[in-house]
Amino acid sequence: METILAVFENGVFRPVAPVALPEHAEVEFEPRLVQAGAARSNGSSDALDGVYSILSERYESGHTDTAARHDEHQP
């Protein structure tokens, strides 16, 4: 069985990637802390780097005040 990386939030372990287990399957595990920022084995760190790279780029729409056009398409 593969290692599953999870985050503990609000009292629940939430996997950071899809898990190949049937619904309601009982599992037994021993939690082990990993270093913050450690590269994940499923490559999701690389994928997130790509997303943040795209989001950091600027887009010039030609509009200097987009907030002024907020209601433009409202009935």
Q: pLDDT tens digits for 6-63?
A: 998 889 999 999 999 999 999 998 888 887 655 455 555 677 788 878 878 877 777 7
In a domain, 72, yes or no: no
What pLDDT is attached to residue 23?
A: 92
In a domain, 45, yes or no: yes
Structural domains of the chain, count = 1
In a domain, 69, yes or no: no
Q: Which residues contact 44 (CB under 8 A, 6 or more apart)?
A: 16, 17
Using CA atoms, how far apart are residues 62 and 7, in angstroms rounded to an integer?
Answer: 41
pTM above 0.75, yes or no: no
In a domain, 32, yes or no: yes
In a domain, 29, yes or no: yes
In a domain, 74, yes or no: no
Query: What range does the domain containing 15 cover?
Result: 6-58
